[in-house]
């Protein structure tokens, strides 16, 4: 069966309708909120986790979906109540490739199922209060390996990971996210387009298995002032590399604050014939790696994206908080979504 003949998930129509009516709000950073909890090594291990590893787990934020589920659900709930229509699961690094750093490859399925269920539970709680529909976006990160560049300067032909390694790892992740109830899959912080293509391919394989297709959001990262991804693509080239997936949105996140992201976003919005999503960091990090940009400042710049007709979905990446998301939601509430060609 052709991939585009596989039926859409039932929530897809509602999502598309809402996206035509208004600018949708994506949530903000999970990492910043977890950091604020000040958890130690023992907290990361928890007491009820059936997965064990000899590696230290502090910093393995995805593991908290199993070991501190109430805390993770609360963060999702706060973002939902701040105005997020779409909330990302705590699964950015929940692939066998990224979890290898923590010796937690065997936990990957559980991390993704639990990640999606926690987000779903938080959103259902928020919807019970205000009646607004909300969507769980299964977050799929880039992993810590790159398929099109060598990590060894003396051996440019070397690759630390292959397309098929990535395809299999992403497949396992997406299966778990679907089982846990994700409404969308968000392939994000893409610095190497070949990694993203492996993730897209894995999604198509899993959708074919499941007989149900989820909308995709695809979000690249511009890593330098020349306006290219790490694998060397301009925003236009990036769009043409992923357009075959017919995503719900294509967009940019992370690496830059809103003002530095603007010209690259404008180029992408010019090239793409699907909805556009932008979720910048809260400005650039200071000397200590922290983000100082306040909610109003971020919201003002994101609202400028909307006034210029560049965006359909907006939210925040590193350094953004529920207050940033509330300010962004308020700032774009009366602005029109970009018209999709």
CB of 34 to Zn ion, least distance (A): 14
318 is in an annotated binding site: yes
- The edge-to-edge listing of strands for the beta sheet with 184-190 is 24-25, 313-314, 275-281, 249-257, 216-220, 184-190, 135-140, 86-88
Can residue 84 be called a binding residue for Zn ion (CB under 5 A)?
A: no
317 is in an annotated binding site: yes
Tokens of 261: 């992201």
CB of 290 to Zn ion, least distance (A): 13
Can residue 254 be called a binding residue for Zn ion (CB under 5 A)?
A: yes
Can residue 190 be called a binding residue for Zn ion (CB under 5 A)?
A: no
Element (H, E) at 333: none
336 is in an annotated binding site: no
Residue closer to Zn ion (CB basis): 88 or 165: 88
Residue closer to Zn ion (CB basis): 242 or 317: 317
**Which stretches of the chain are DSSP H helices?**
11-21, 31-36, 41-45, 64-67, 69-81, 96-99, 108-130, 163-179, 193-210, 235-242, 258-271, 295-307, 322-332
Residue span binding Zn ion (CB under 5 A) among the ranges 67-75, 246-254, 299-307, 320-328: 246-254
Site string for Zn ion, 287-326 (x = CB under 5 A): ------------------------------xx--------
| CA-to-CA dists, residue 231 to 150, 274, 319, angstroms | 11, 23, 25
Other C-beta atoms closer than 10 Å to the C-beta of 64 total: 27
Least Cα distance to 320 among 40, 43, 95, 25 occurs for: 25
Residue closer to Zn ion (CB basis): 19 or 317: 317
Residue closer to Zn ion (CB basis): 317 or 325: 317
Residues in contact with Zn ion by CB under 5 A are 254, 281, 317-318
Which residues are part of a known binding site?
A: 254, 317-318
């Amino acid at each position: 069966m052709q991939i585009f003949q596989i039926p859409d998930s039932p929530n897809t129509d509602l999502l598309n309708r809402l996206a035509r009516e208004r600018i949708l709000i994506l949530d903000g950073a999970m990492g910043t909120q977890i950091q604020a909890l000040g958890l130690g090594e023992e907290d990361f291990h928890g007491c009820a986790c059936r997965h064990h590893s000899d590696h230290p787990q502090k910093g393995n934020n995805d593991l908290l979906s199993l070991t501190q589920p109430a805390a993770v659900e609360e963060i999702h709930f706060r973002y939902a109540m701040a105005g997020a229509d779409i909330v990302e699961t705590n699964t950015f690094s929940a692939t066998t490739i990224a979890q290898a750093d923590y010796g937690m490859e065997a936990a990957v399925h559980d991390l993704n199922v639990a990640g999606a269920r926690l987000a779903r539970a938080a959103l259902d709680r928020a919807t019970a209060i205000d009646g607004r529909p909300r969507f769980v976006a299964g977050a799929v990160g880039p992993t810590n390996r790159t398929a099109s560049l060598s990590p060894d300067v003396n051996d440019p032909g070397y690759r630390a990971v292959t397309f098929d390694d990535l395809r299999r790892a992403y497949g396992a992740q997406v299966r778990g996210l679907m089982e846990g109830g994700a409404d969308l899959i968000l392939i994000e912080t893409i610095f190497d387009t070949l990694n993203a293509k492996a993730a897209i391919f894995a999604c198509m394989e899993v959708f074919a298995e499941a007989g149900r297709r989820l909308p995709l959001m695809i979000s690249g990262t511009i890593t330098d002032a020349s306006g290219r991804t790490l694998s060397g693509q301009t925003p236009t080239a990036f769009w043409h590399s992923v357009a075959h997936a017919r995503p719900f949105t294509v967009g940019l996140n992370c690496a830059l604050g809103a003002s530095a992201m603007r010209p690259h976003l404008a180029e992408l919005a010019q090239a793409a014939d699907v909805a556009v999503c932008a979720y910048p960091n809260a400005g650039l990090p200071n000397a200590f790696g922290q983000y100082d940009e306040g909610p109003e400042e971020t919201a003002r710049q994101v609202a400028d994206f909307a006034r210029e007709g560049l965006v359909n979905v907006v939210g925040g990446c590193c350094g953004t908080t529920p207050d940033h998301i509330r300010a962004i939601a308020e700032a774009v509430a009366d602005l029109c979504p970009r018209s999709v060609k």
